A and B are shown apart, each in its own frame.
Chain A
Amino acid sequence: MMASSYNAKDEDGHHPGSVGSGGPGAVKSKKPDNTAFKQQRLPAWQPILTAGTVLPAFFMIGLIFIPIGIGLLVTSNNIKEFEVRAVAIATSYSCECASLNNRNSPRTKDFSNVFMYYGLSNFYQNHRRYVKSRDDSQLNGDKSSLLNPSKECEPYRTSDKKSIAPCGAIANSLFNDTLELFYIHPNGSRIAIHLVKTGIAWWTDKHVKFRNPGENNNNLSIVFQDTSKPVNWRKPVYELDPSDPDNNGFINEDFIVWMRTAALPTFRKLYRIIQKKKDNMTPTLPPGNYSLEVIYNYPVRSFDGRKRMILSTISWMGGKNPFLGIAYITVGSVCFFLGVVLLIIHHKYGNRNNNADIPN
């Protein structure tokens, strides 16, 4: 007769522990567990910021930063950098030769590689629509994307009903000047300096991110036959470097470098590497006069742009940039100064607090 549920509950009530009030286990107590977590007693470290406690930190920072800053500054100053601004003056497509005179020539006694950069200023490679205007899967060698590039590439997606390869505004605006460097021997002869074209792009870019379509087909012209070249280009993508099949098509390193859009409107991009001499005895670029030959293709006038050529060695911390050293020194000194201020404050007021606070 009795509903079963009630019987069951009665049985619960019969539980032996239920005798006596509050007997342990009688009724499952609602008493919360006494654990550190539930009672919010987890160990914690709560720094109290007073002049006294932060003093050491400030001095420490000061003492550490200033030497680091000096070190950085020295390192940066050791880097040789040479810049040719004149390059940008020319406007025409004609060939111009800028010869560099004696005084300005890079005189490096370093035996390391010298990196050759081209620089552009006022070129907004970071413009939102510009940055987007590419098709990564096309560049990765995807066949379908090759023929049907992403919409992001608009309006540089198709021309003449053929898809553009590589599509998009970035590729379209590829920097296509040619720079050549000659050493003017004291005897007057011009010796062309060997500029290495490869190794200027990230390894991952060259080998993973960028791939030519049609895996093993060495004949790129067939692979790209159904595509058209970007509007501004003079030659199709498979003729970027006909001499070296490993540096042609999408995996052309100049192209890859260009595709890595610069962060700021004034930027430089690695162009060539002047490799150090094998014997390690003569400097990479011996002191002397050099001349730079530029084949002008790239218009910059329309946007007030400037072109530059930079020769630079690099150190462990990259290119020449004294800023970081200065920043370290500045922050270090400010910390030190504030430390002193705090010390004064601490002396004047800190003690009083403690006295008042803690009875003797």
Chain B
Amino acid sequence: MARETGESGETKSTKVKKHKRRKSKKESKTRTVHANILYDHTKGGDNPNRHYANNKIKTTKYTLLSFLPKNLFEQFHRFANVYFVFIALLNFVPVVNAFQPELALAPVVFILSVTAIKDLWEDYRRHRSDKEINHMDCLVYSRNEKQYVEKYWKELRVGDFIRLRCNEILPADVLLLSSSDPDRLCHIETATLDGETNLKQRQVVRSFIDLVSFDPFKYNSVIECEKPNNDLNRFRGYIIHRSGRRDGLYKDNLLLRGCTIRNTEEAVGIVIYAGHETKAMLNNNGPRYKRSKLERQMNVDVFWCVVILLVMCLFSAIGHGLWMFQYGDKRPVFDVLSPEGTDLSPVVSAIYLFLTMIIVFQVLIPISLFVSIEIVKICQVYFIHQDMELYDEETDSHLQCRALNITEDLGQMQYIFSDKTGTLTENKMVFRRCTVAGVEYSHDANARRLAMYQEMDSEEEDCTSHGGTLPRRDSVTSHQSGKVVLRSQSTKSHRRTGSRAEAKRASILSKHTAFSSPMEKDITPDPQLMDKVNECSSQMEFMRFHSQPLNQIPPDLCDIFDFFIALTICNTVVVSSPNQPRQKVVVYYPPGQLGNFLEELDELLSKFPEDGTPLVLLCDFRLSLTNLQFNRPEHDLQHAFSPTPPNFEKTKALAQDECELRYEAESPDEAALVYAARAYKCALVGRLPDQVTVELPHLGKLSFELLHTLGFDSTRKRMSVVVKHPLTEQITVYSKGADSVIMDLIRPATDDCKGKRQRKILYKTQNYLNLYAADGLRTLCIAKKVLSKEEYASWLQHHLEAETAIQRREELLFESALRLETNLQLLGATGIEDRLQDGVPETIASLRKAGLQIWVLTGDKQETAINIAYACKLLDPEEEIITLNADSQEACAVLLENSLHYIQAKFLCNPRPDPQAARDYAGIHFSSPVCSPASSGHSSPFLVHRLGLVIDGRTLAYALDKSLEDKFLAVARSCRSVLCCRSTPLQKSMVVKLVRNKLKVMTLAIGDGANDVSMIQVADVGVGISGQEGMQAVMASDFALPRFRYLQKLLLVHGHWCYSRLANMILYFFYKNAMFVALIFWYQFYCGFSGSAMVDQWYLIFFNLMFSAFPQLITGTLDKDVSAETLQELPQLYMNGQNSEEYKPYMFWMNMIDAFYQSLICFFIPYFAYVDSDVDLFTWGTPITTLALFTILLHLGIETKTWVTLFFTVALCYNASCPTCFSPSNTYWIMQKLLGDPIFYLLCVVTPIAALLPRYFYRACQGTLFPNPVHMGRQLDKLPVDMRRIFLSQSQMKLGSLGSLFAPRAPFFPLCGPFQKDYRPRVKQTHMSGTKQKEKAIANPIPSKSMEMRDTPLSSKNSDNHITLNFRMQEEVQSCRQGSDSPLPENLHCVKEPSSPITGTLPYTKDTPGSRTILDSTGLEAPLSPTDLCQVELLTSTPLLPQTESMQLMSPPRSCFLGQKLDDEDHSNQKSLLKQAGDVDHTHSTSCLQEHSLKTTFL
């Protein structure tokens, strides 16, 4: 949850002036702003503001003149470009040149110009949007015309007075000097800055508050303020009037550029910062640049290419030297002297040749690869953007890719770190239940209503409000006008601003005001509580009428009253009315009559000379003042209770549409509570900076004087308001906060009767709180405290000091708040429901099936988090949960140690604590090529158990300590799901960083609020949810999603595609270039290593750029290995990318070898076909080029036919074009000649086939012998649509069979657990539909059998496998039954025997020796039984059995045997159990091994 109220304490501080420290600051650290009208515009020489930036913005990088040099300079930052330019320049050296120098420049120029054109276009777009923004209008006061005139934004200068109208966008950072609002407020919407759509109040500078109309000519003050900075939440300075008086300036006085004026007809301000110095502009950072994993991998291989290149060059050079040497002094005619006529020695010419060869072989370094990758990625981003399924109808927003260059990383994620609130849940807070004074009000009706909403979920956004049209119109306006500014905000990235506008629009469309769908607003009150409220208020009215003191009301009623008052006022909700869109409800109260005593205090204090008054004196004075203030209660009371306020007419009119009052809150649960209170007729009707108006039944409107607001912060986890109660005149503190903190602050009254009651309440409430948490509700506690005047005064003194302090102000305020929030009296607690987003459990399940580890990091309390985790299937009821709650570092260490032991004990072969052992372990067991991924990160999935880890924030802090982090990781990574509760934003990012750095895995962080930003930034891929909580997360993210569930398609489909496309494309590029270069290399053996090429230099250079690159680009963009449906249905296919299976290091070398083989074929078949003939150089070389191209394209696939013809066309044109150009390698008419030559065609047929034969054969064999999951997916795609549907619908069941096919990957399917669970009921379903016979057969043995299988060590990882086996068993049994009788009973017996433990979820959980024997019997004796015999036979039918077998060894047995039982049991109990279980496991493990060996012998 993002709350930005951190500095709201500042609000009050405007009333105090104290600038001693300011004054002492150096002038250079501040900016002084004078009004411009004092100076003549024409002679700007003496204007002190002239040095400040004007309001013209220029976000372009280049000007017409600077474009070329600057752009080139930037491009040469890329190493590859420098390399290519170096090569091109090398070509200009006569002794080494290989090509025509000009020609060699062509590719480099091409690449550079493509990039330059792209940059130019982007810059032009920026220029255009700049221009548009610079030419927007605003009203500026003109000195000459003595009125406001329209001017362009760009003409605005610091010191100008501007007049702003409603819905206008602020052109610069403006200090608010006057407002048409009676309270001298100005409302702004900051959506463009932070995405928050609620209104924020800004105040007129204090010294101008009393001015009715602001006259610029009378203004002659000087403003001193900070230098421009990018902190949106800070502004400090002071204004010096001519009288010498100083007034402080705070962020509440500043209107920021880009915000929109709302609800305020007119405002006047003076420009403080303009143009690039505005906070909004300073906050704009360029797009983020991340390097994807694939690219990093690629760079390694580029390096290898360089090595290969050098080796080849060296080889050629030596060859040339030797060739020269053999002729000795006799110089053959064909060995032409150098141009200078000098005779080169073999050594020198070898050195020259080395350089020449670098030029000739330059194609090996894929020059166009970098450009191609960029192009492909842009196309991929485009397609992701265009995906309909990632479009959210509700918010009219779709996925945004904010980072362009990491699309393929999406396909390689291994860990997902998710925020809970707003990410997994809707962040639509719904008031569910509450408890007041120890009595629970269950709100059953409300629950029913909510259930109804859930059903008609889709309609929840329909227009229930009357004002539907108007606000929409308004919001559209604001959106569109907003967009213009948005662009102005972007210095570098347009994408970003676009996204802002989109998100903003989305939030506006979905709801007219922030956080208020009808579901949240319409709360059905609990009748019981309603009665009490009514009773309470009628009593109060009665008492007020009879002037009786209010404390005679029974305490529970009083508590109820206070409870609702607290709900209503203890927040920062702004009230607005919908039919006057975004207009504040104007309710006039007699101003000043209630007396804002602080204001008066200010006035009084200001009379003292600021520096002279001793502090003590000041305090005394304040005290007396306070007393003075409290001496006029009657007067105040009268007004507060006046039955007909002076403006009764108006209020009444408003009362009619009172139900339409809208509450705009910074956080949704505030709004939820206010709406809840309103349901009980306790409605918030108005909020001013110093006064809150509440309407109560019977009592009418009550105005609470708001003395202080101690805003929410994540450390305190609570907020408080200090008000003066209008009925009792007491200074009351209402606090609202997380139960954990509030409960600690409760101090029951010492007096006996009261204290007893309060203790009882405390106890009961705590119980209810636990209940709420168990229901997954967010709990908040409401408490109050009544301050005596003395207490208040003494606190106030400190507080004022804190507020006025300039250094450490935040800390002091924090301390001050802590001082106030003590000894609270508990009123009650609320339970707010935060519904899960649609499809979250499914998404999590499928992501998990895809092999992703999901960690949830939330700020919520542990119980709530666990419940949500259960609800979204993150935790499984059947899995064990390790909970870590430690109070100290040592305790934490012990806990970690224990859990580590526990895990080890439980899962026998888990030697992780000793890394050395782990490595050995991996070395021994994972040596088969399929399952020996190079990086250590890959080994982690092997060791994931069915365990959940829950850790709270405090323990996390200890666990993240350097000394413990390894242990923590060891524990965490072996758990299937990890839940971190009560974690701070910093901790979130630390966890991500830790996992990323230590485990070397790809991490994805997803979140929606400001508290997730750090985590999003740390992760490899950050995903922001453009949800309810503003845009900070989106701003920081690489991808922005409207909903969590879209993550599934984004990762599983687009991630997979992007990854496999790019991986294949990169590999192909390497292959292609190596193949082509190798052709020339072979030729060197036949031309005396002279660096000659049989391929025309044009082909040579453009081969890479044109002929072979385009088809590759197209496949790189559009290729689909598996269809989207299949990818989503079979999340397992995602592992392909996780394990980098498309692009492994060895694949590069395989490709290289293949390339060399193919080039050999392509070279030597034409060689032998033409050997000893009259063929000339290029007549021979062109077929080779053609063949190579054919081979390469055939290699690529099918979409390439068009491009082959392209080559022919180009070749024909080129060869016919000019008989004399292109010397020396004149290729005139060669292609034409060739096309008439039958040998050419014959070659074209045989060579590519011969060249591709091995690969084709290999692929075919691979397809049959060891198909990988992707292959299976493709096969699925091939099926006709209906077949596929049938298959996929059964896929849960049949996955098992697929799994058996995926057998080599079986270890990569560590998370098949959930699937198995899903599968069981479905099995039954299918059987229902199946034949009777089958039904019969299955009914008994299957579940039991599968259970048995679970016990064996086999089952833990390869459960998929076993499911198939089970099915086969079926048939076997069946056939047995039909066939011979004799094996049947045994079979059945064997199968049935273990069925007894099923119900008890396995014997040895109970830890009884008896059950252990059962285990043994299943474990050791079973293999000897016929069942297992046939099982073994079945196993053999899988070709990959050896692999499976080896897997079995390392796969520890399933953990679920501890199951549910333990979940319910005590933690300590659990631990004691564990040890025993561990012992059991050891014996068990040995038995497993024995069994295994038995099996192998069988085989």
Query: Does B1256 interact with chain A (Cβ within 8 Å)?
Result: yes
Which residues on A sit within 8 Å (CB–CB) of B139?
1
Q: Cβ of A262 and Cβ of B1175 under 8 Å apart? A: yes
Which chain A residue shows the least CB distance to B1093?
A: A128
Which residues on A sit within 8 Å (CB–CB) of B1274?
46, 48
Which one of B509, B1173, B1294, B1298 lies within 8 Å of A318 (CB-CB)? B1173
Q: Cβ of A208 and Cβ of B1238 under 8 Å apart? A: no
Q: Cβ of B1177 and Cβ of A327 under 8 Å apart? A: no
Query: Does A247 interact with chain B (Cβ within 8 Å)?
Result: no
Q: How far is the CB of A63 from chain B (nearest CB, A)?
A: 13
Query: Does B655 interact with chain A (Cβ within 8 Å)?
Result: no
Q: How far is the CB of B79 from chain A (nearest CB, A)?
A: 29
- One of B188-196, B361-369, B384-392 contacting the partner: B384-392
CA distance A50 to B1271 in the complex (A): 9
**B1238-1265 at interface with A (beta carbon < 8 Å):** 1238-1239, 1242-1243, 1246, 1249-1250, 1253, 1256-1257, 1259-1265
Q: Cβ of A119 and Cβ of B1172 under 8 Å apart? A: yes
Say whether, besides A32-B386, A40-B1124, A263-B1176, A331 and B1253 are in contact (CB < 8 Å): yes
Q: Cβ of B1228 and Cβ of A317 under 8 Å apart? A: no
CA distance A260 to B1233 in the complex (A): 14
Query: Does A163 interact with chain B (Cβ within 8 Å)?
Result: no
Q: Cβ of B476 and Cβ of A13 under 8 Å apart? A: yes
Say whether, besides A4-B137, A38-B386, A349-B1439, A324 and B1169 are in contact (CB < 8 Å): yes
Which residues on A sit within 8 Å (CB–CB) of B505?
27
Which residues on A sit within 8 Å (CB–CB) of B1439?
349, 352
Q: Cβ of A267 and Cβ of B1175 under 8 Å apart? A: yes
Q: Cβ of A31 and Cβ of B1088 under 8 Å apart? A: no
CA distance A136 to B484 in the complex (A): 62
Q: How far is the CB of A187 from chain B (nearest CB, A)?
A: 36
Which residues on A sit within 8 Å (CB–CB) of B393?
22, 31
Q: How far is the CB of B1335 from chain A (nearest CB, A)?
A: 16
Which residues on A sit within 8 Å (CB–CB) of B1087?
124, 126-128, 265
CA distance A21 to B1239 in the complex (A): 70
Say whether, besides A13-B477, A22-B396, A32-B388, A51 and B1261 are in contact (CB < 8 Å): yes
**B324-341 at interface with A (beta carbon < 8 Å):** 327, 330-341
Q: Cβ of B1224 and Cβ of A124 under 8 Å apart? A: no
Contact with B along A17-39 (1 / 0, CB 8 A): 01111100011011111100011
Query: Does B472 interact with chain A (Cβ within 8 Å)?
Result: yes
Q: Cβ of A267 and Cβ of B1174 under 8 Å apart? A: yes
Contact with A along B1166-1183 (1 / 0, CB 8 A): 011111111111111100
Query: Does B106 interact with chain A (Cβ within 8 Å)?
Result: no
Query: Does B1092 interact with chain A (Cβ within 8 Å)?
Result: yes
Q: Cβ of B1176 and Cβ of A260 under 8 Å apart? A: yes
Contact with B along A117-155 (1 / 0, CB 8 A): 101000111111111111111001010000000111011
Query: Does A334 interact with chain B (Cβ within 8 Å)?
Result: yes
Q: Which of B468, B480, B1237 has the most CB of A within 10 A?
A: B480
Q: Cβ of A127 and Cβ of B336 under 8 Å apart? A: yes
Which residues on B sit within 8 Å (CB–CB) of A119?
1172
CA distance A1 to B1267 in the complex (A): 73
Which residues on A sit within 8 Å (CB–CB) of B167?
6
Query: Does A197 interact with chain B (Cβ within 8 Å)?
Result: no
Which residues on B sit within 8 Å (CB–CB) of A281?
none
Q: Cβ of A126 and Cβ of B1086 under 8 Å apart? A: yes
Which one of B474, B1092, B1165, B1294 lies within 8 Å of A359 (CB-CB)? B1294
Query: Does B963 interact with chain A (Cβ within 8 Å)?
Result: no
**A289-324 at interface with B (beta carbon < 8 Å):** 302-303, 305, 316-319, 321, 323-324
Which one of B150, B356, B1259, B1301 lies within 8 Å of A357 (CB-CB)? B1301
Query: Does B1090 interact with chain A (Cβ within 8 Å)?
Result: yes
Q: Cβ of A49 and Cβ of B1263 under 8 Å apart? A: yes
Which residues on A sit within 8 Å (CB–CB) of B1264?
50-52, 342, 345-346, 349-350, 353
Which one of A21, A42, A136, A263 lies within 8 Å of B509 (CB-CB)? A21
Q: Cβ of B462 and Cβ of A21 under 8 Å apart? A: yes
Q: Cβ of A5 and Cβ of B481 under 8 Å apart? A: yes
Q: Cβ of A319 and Cβ of B1173 under 8 Å apart? A: yes
Query: Does B1283 interact with chain A (Cβ within 8 Å)?
Result: yes
- What band does the interface of chain B fall in when counting residues whose beta carbon is under 8 Å from A? 35 or more
Say whether, besides A9-B477, A18-B473, A357-B1297, A49 and B1260 are in contact (CB < 8 Å): yes
Contact with A along B44-87 (1 / 0, CB 8 A): 00000000000000000000000000000000000000000000
Which chain A residue shows the least CB distance to B398?
A: A30
Which chain B residue shows the least CB distance to A174?
A: B333
Contact with B along A259-287 (1 / 0, CB 8 A): 01111111111100000000000000000
Q: Cβ of A54 and Cβ of B1256 under 8 Å apart? A: yes
CA distance A264 to B1220 in the complex (A): 24
Query: Does B241 interact with chain A (Cβ within 8 Å)?
Result: no
Which one of A135, A142, A155 lies within 8 Å of B339 (CB-CB)? A155
Q: How far is the CB of B680 from chain A (nearest CB, A)?
A: 29
Which one of A33, A40, A131, A204 lies within 8 Å of B1118 (CB-CB)? A40
- What band does the interface of chain A fall in when counting residues whose beta carbon is under 8 Å from B? 35 or more
CA distance A262 to B1174 in the complex (A): 7
Which chain A residue shows the least CB distance to B383?
A: A40
Which residues on B sit within 8 Å (CB–CB) of A150?
1223
Q: Cβ of B1250 and Cβ of A331 under 8 Å apart? A: yes
Which residues on B sit within 8 Å (CB–CB) of A338?
1253, 1257
Which residues on B sit within 8 Å (CB–CB) of A151?
339
Which residues on B sit within 8 Å (CB–CB) of A133?
336, 1224
Query: Does B138 interact with chain A (Cβ within 8 Å)?
Result: yes
Query: Does A328 interact with chain B (Cβ within 8 Å)?
Result: yes
Q: How far is the CB of A116 from chain B (nearest CB, A)?
A: 11
Q: Cβ of B332 and Cβ of A303 under 8 Å apart? A: yes
Query: Does B136 interact with chain A (Cβ within 8 Å)?
Result: yes
Q: Cβ of A136 and Cβ of B1223 under 8 Å apart? A: yes
Which residues on A sit within 8 Å (CB–CB) of B1233?
202, 204
Which residues on B sit within 8 Å (CB–CB) of A33?
386
Which residues on A sit within 8 Å (CB–CB) of B1283?
358
Say whether, besides A9-B481, A349-B1265, A263 and B336 are in contact (CB < 8 Å): no
Which residues on A sit within 8 Å (CB–CB) of B1232?
204
CA distance A324 to B1239 in the complex (A): 8
Q: How far is the CB of B237 from chain A (nearest CB, A)?
A: 29
Which one of A13, A21, A327, A359 lies within 8 Å of B1287 (CB-CB)? A359
CA distance A163 to B1226 in the complex (A): 22
Q: How far is the CB of B353 from chain A (nearest CB, A)?
A: 9
Which residues on A sit within 8 Å (CB–CB) of B1224?
131-134, 136, 152
Which chain B residue shows the least CB distance to A211?
A: B1219
CA distance A12 to B1287 in the complex (A): 50
Please name 13 further chain A to chain B contacts, defined as beta carbons within 8 Å, in addition to the given A1-B165, A21-B462, A204-B1233, sorted by A numbering.
A9-B477, A21-B463, A49-B1262, A52-B1264, A53-B1263, A126-B1087, A150-B1223, A173-B334, A263-B1175, A269-B1174, A321-B1169, A342-B1257, A352-B1439
Task: Identify the B interface with A (CB < 8 A).
Answer: 98, 136-139, 150, 165, 167-168, 327, 330-341, 356, 383, 385-388, 391, 393, 396-398, 461-463, 468-469, 472-474, 476-477, 480-481, 484, 502, 505, 509, 1057, 1086-1088, 1090-1094, 1118, 1120-1121, 1124, 1165, 1167-1181, 1198-1199, 1219-1221, 1223-1226, 1228-1229, 1232-1233, 1237-1239, 1242-1243, 1246, 1249-1250, 1253, 1256-1257, 1259-1265, 1267, 1271-1272, 1274-1279, 1283, 1286-1287, 1290, 1294, 1297-1298, 1300-1301, 1364, 1437, 1439
Closest 6 CB pairs of A and B: A303-B332, A263-B1180, A50-B1263, A128-B1092, A132-B1224, A173-B333
28 example contacts (A-B, Cβ-Cβ < 8 A) are as follows A2-B165, A3-B136, A18-B469, A22-B509, A30-B391, A30-B398, A31-B391, A39-B386, A49-B1262, A65-B1249, A123-B332, A126-B1086, A128-B356, A129-B335, A136-B1219, A257-B1174, A261-B1177, A262-B1177, A264-B1171, A267-B1174, A302-B332, A302-B333, A317-B1242, A324-B1242, A346-B1264, A356-B1298, A356-B1301, A359-B1294
